[in-house]
Amino acid sequence: MDTAVTLIQLILGLAAIPALIRVISGPTLADRIIALDLILFLLAGGVAVHGARQGEEVFIAIVITVALVAFAGTVLVARFIEWRDVP
C-alpha cells in the first residue's frame, strides 16, 4: 500500500508542473485561474491520499474545505472577468 500511495502522490505532484507553468505563462487571467484551480484540486487529491495512508478522518474535512474554496474562488474570478469585459 505504501508503494502505491507514494506513486500516486508522485503522479499528482508531476501533474501540477504543467499547471504551474500555465499559471506563470498563461496569456489570460482565465487561463491562470483554471490552472490554479487544477493545482488546488491536485492538492486536495494529495491530502485525500495522505489521509487514506494515515487512516484518519480529519483529512476528509480538509479535502472538502480545499475543494469548496477552490470552487468559490473560481466562480468569483469568473464573475469578475465577465463583469470587467462588459462595456
Q: Where are the domains of the chain?
A: 2-85
CATH code linked to domain 2-85:
1.10.287
| Amino acid 85: pLDDT | 76
Evaluate whether 70 touches 44 at the Cβ level (below 8 Å): yes
Mean pLDDT by 10 residues, the chain (87 residues): 89 95 92 93 92 90 92 92 76
| Amino acid 86: pLDDT | 58
* Helix, strand, coil in percent for the chain, rounding step 5: 90, 0, 10
- The model's pTM is 0.83
Burial class (CB within 10 angstroms; exposed 0-12, middle 13-18, buried 19+) of 85: exposed
| Amino acid 47: pLDDT | 92
